[in-house]
Structure 1
Amino acid sequence: MIDDPFVTHRSLLFTVAYQMLGSASDAEDVLQESWLRWADVDRSQVRDPQAYLVRIVTRQALNRLRTLSRSREEYVGEWLPEPLLTSPDVAEDVELAESVSMAMLTVLETLGPTERAVFVLREVFDVPYGEIAEAIGKTSAAVRQIARRARDHVAARRPRVQVSRSEQQAVVARFLRALQTGQLRELMEVMAPDVVLITDGGGIAAAALAPIHGVETVAAVLARANRSALLETTAVWLNGEPAGRLDLDGEPSTVSLVVEDGRITRVYVVRNPQKLTRLDRPAELAR
């Protein structure tokens, strides 16, 4: 029996949808919609099933993204991507790991839907311009211009200094240890002076409604969490990089860090329980 191409390429299709949407639950919905469309296709007319499926998923994800863009404007507080538990193996593919990192996904949120689709397909999955044009209903020349603008936009906002996984793990371990013990000085030493803390509670869990700036203020806020609740910290792999799981009085949160020059410059904390339903088993990502 020949495997259905949709099943064969499912991890790839999920990764495309997730990178376009920043939400695993929405990505799963897109895959369900795409599967229904694929089921009606005359397979004998499809020369390249993978490319055909990527086009279907792209179109469905674009439709979903345009709808989500409006609803996210009404989101309570800061909106962060849905964190994914990943295996350490994902980090072996450096480009894939960077493309699904919390830092990159937050940058992609600043792109328009079409720019985001073009960037993801071209820069991450190396889809030819002609195929992208067919997927989004533009000319190849227009896609090239969109890709150039999106590249420049992302380059201006992504972390400028890449660190090794071992250095990231060491900084994460030090941060979690300081957080667990409530050591204010340790927290301040591991963070950059201009560190920014962004928390996402979605109006459901307690979270700051705006980014918090500055090492003293951020450290004080983080240390306060230790004093106000029973806190357990666990090192995990999230979105292809070392990160942490926090359990505050039994309620899970995740923390992802951007490390530059040995210090933390961004702290992303997701507390919205609707975004924390996939922490039991690693997501299967591929490109």
Structure 2
Amino acid sequence: MSEDRMSEDRDERADDAVDSATEVFLAHRNLLFTVAYEMLGSAADAEDVLQETWLRWAEADIGQIRDERAYLVRITTRQSLNRLRTLRRRREAYVGPWLPEPLLTTPDVAEDVELAESVSMALMFVLETLTPTERAVFVLREAFDLGYDEIADAVGKTPAAVRQIAHRARRHVEQRRPRARVSPDQTRSALLAFQYALETRDLSKLVHVLAPDVVVVSDGGGVKQAALRPLVGADKVVRFLSGGLARNGAELTTAPTVVNGSPALIFRLDGELDGVMAVRIEDGRVSGLYYVRNPHKLTRVGLETALTLR
């Protein structure tokens, strides 16, 4: 065989390997994005992690990899952990509470109860209180149902240590996250009542639709006005909402949507996007509000994001 022909064969095999690697990566891309997003709470950072994952995947000897999905998840987890440790230092200096970047999600996300709960603003706000390793272990175990051995490989710990970390993280999260399930009819009714009370600025109706121990968390990132700490109690939340509306003095319009698999409202003032408010509903009343006003976190509000646990 001539040297030219041998060179052509090598090039063809290399092209086939790249095509195969690309096909496998794209088949798992939504899963890998979901892993990175649940760990980081930022779509932009998750996309960066996926780019880093692809570069390492493209260099791997795919023929020697027995479980491609597990291998890709492991790379994504390691890259996410590295980035999360850096981000945690930045977030310590963040002005006010830090909320995840809200994602406009496809209808199938809301229909998948486990997925919707795992990416909900309420749960992801709680995950911010975990250490990076605790968060990685919790996400991989609780959301993606990975085995302790697989998680140990991903986070660089022994399986025994991962069991302890998982137990500690689960106990921490269980003490803080809401658990009540609400029917679609209850959700729709409460959301419409809340939306109407806001737009008409009817404080009596607003009080009626809020749970007595309702919590509001607002994220302006030091760019937009927001409460510097979570507010608890219907009276405080009403004062916060009504005070903000009065100060703005602009025409408020709201539109129902679904972010992170849960009901939400898009706020516009004089037609301009002002923020996204995820709404948690329990027992027919609004029990939690997660209001993202930081404009840097609103760039994907008009773009549906596909998420998956599989």
TM range (shorter): over 0.9
Cα separation, 1, equivalents of 2:285 and 2:224: 28
Find the structure with the greater CA-based Rg: 2
Match of residue 218, structure 2, among 174, 196, 199: 199
Q: Which residue of 2 aligns with 1:261?
A: 283
Cα separation, 1, equivalents of 2:199 and 2:179: 29
Cα separation, 1, equivalents of 2:160 and 2:153: 12
Q: Which residue of 1 aligns with 2:233?
A: 214
Q: Which residue of 1 aligns with 2:139?
A: 120
Q: Which residue of 2 aligns with 1:66?
A: 85
Instruction: Give yes or no for the alignment of 1:233 onto 2:293.
Output: no
Structure 1, residues 224-264: CA drift from partner, whole Å, max 9, x if none? 33342221100001100111111123133001122222222
Cα separation, 1, equivalents of 2:239 and 2:108: 35
Scaled by the length of structure 1, the TM-score of the pair is: 0.96
Give the deviation of 1:276 after TM superposition: 0.3
Cα separation, 2, equivalents of 1:33 and 1:252: 33
Q: Please, which moves more after superposition, 217-226 or 68-77?
A: 217-226
**Code of the aligned partner of 1:273:** P
Give the deviation of 1:223 after TM superposition: 2.4
Q: Which residue of 2 aligns with 1:85?
A: 104
Match of residue 152, structure 1, among 171, 176, 180: 171
Instruction: Give yes or no for the alignment of 1:285 onto 2:307.
Output: yes
Instruction: Give yes or no for the alignment of 1:276 onto 2:298.
Output: yes
Cα separation, 2, equivalents of 1:204 and 1:134: 40
Match of residue 273, structure 2, among 228, 251, 254: 251
1:251 match: secondary structure: strand
1:208 match: secondary structure: coil
Structure 1, residues 144-165: CA drift from partner, whole Å, max 9, x if none? 1111111111111111322123
Preserved contact between residue 95 and residue 221 of structure 2 (Cα < 8 Å): yes
**Code of the aligned partner of 1:257:** V
**Code of the aligned partner of 2:240:** V
Cα separation, 2, equivalents of 1:50 and 1:229: 50
Structure 1: gaps spanning 5 or more residues: none
Give the deviation of 1:107 after TM superposition: 1.1
State how 1:11-160 maps to structure 2 within 5 Å: 11-160=30-179
What root-mean-square deviation, in Å, do the aligned CA atoms of Structure 1 and Structure 2 show? 1.3
Structure 2: gaps spanning 5 or more residues: 1-18
1:162 match: secondary structure: coil
2:104 match: secondary structure: coil
Give the deviation of 1:125 after TM superposition: 0.7
**Code of the aligned partner of 2:269:** L
**Code of the aligned partner of 2:151:** I
Cα separation, 2, equivalents of 1:160 and 1:54: 28
Preserved contact between residue 96 and residue 227 of structure 2 (Cα < 8 Å): yes
**Code of the aligned partner of 1:19:** E
Cα separation, 2, equivalents of 1:171 and 1:87: 22
Dislocated runs of 4+, deviation >6 Å: none
1:157 match: secondary structure: coil
> What fraction of aligned residue pairs are identical, expressed as a percent?
59
Scaled by the length of structure 2, the TM-score of the pair is: 0.89
Give the deviation of 1:213 after TM superposition: 2.7
Q: Please, which moves more after superposition, 53-62 or 85-94?
A: 85-94
Cα separation, 1, equivalents of 2:263 and 2:38: 19
